[in-house]
Amino acid sequence: MRLFRGLILLTVGAAAAVGVDRLMLRPAASSEPPPPVAASEPGPGDPPVVWLDGTLESITEGELALRDGQGPRIPIERFAAGATSFLAPDGDEWRELSEEEITTLEAGAQACVETLLDGETFLALRVFLAAGCGPAMEA
């Protein structure tokens, strides 16, 4: 009987842990799909385009970091002179944020980042705020 009770407690504990991971640790998905995005295609010999989805963990002038749930922290370099675009949904389209708006961004926001993968280094092209990556992102 003790073994049976122990198994039940273990099952209930595992179910609770999975529930917390799904409900509390992952950002809530928006009920409205984000506006479509035109895809960027690299040229011959260019690094491949990679889309990363997660929560912004930090943002500096030269780098940002993303985390997907409890996964690893992914450092992503930003291009110099504001060449990395930050966009937020604005109705049926994306609005590019100004440098002042970018400096006020805080960690914890959901984001989808379009990057180039150069060896082991991710280089941010566009950062879509309040959006997850997926088929709905492409037009």
Q: Which domains, and CATH codes, for the chain?
A: 49-137 (2.40.50)
Question: 101 Cβ partners below 8 Å, 6+ apart?
Answer: 86
Please tell me the least confidently modeled range out of 11-15, 39-43, 66-70, 132-136. Answer: 11-15
Q: Residue 24 — pLDDT band, cuts 50, 70, 90?
A: very low
pLDDT, tens digit, 9 for 90 and up, residues 72-83: 999 999 998 889
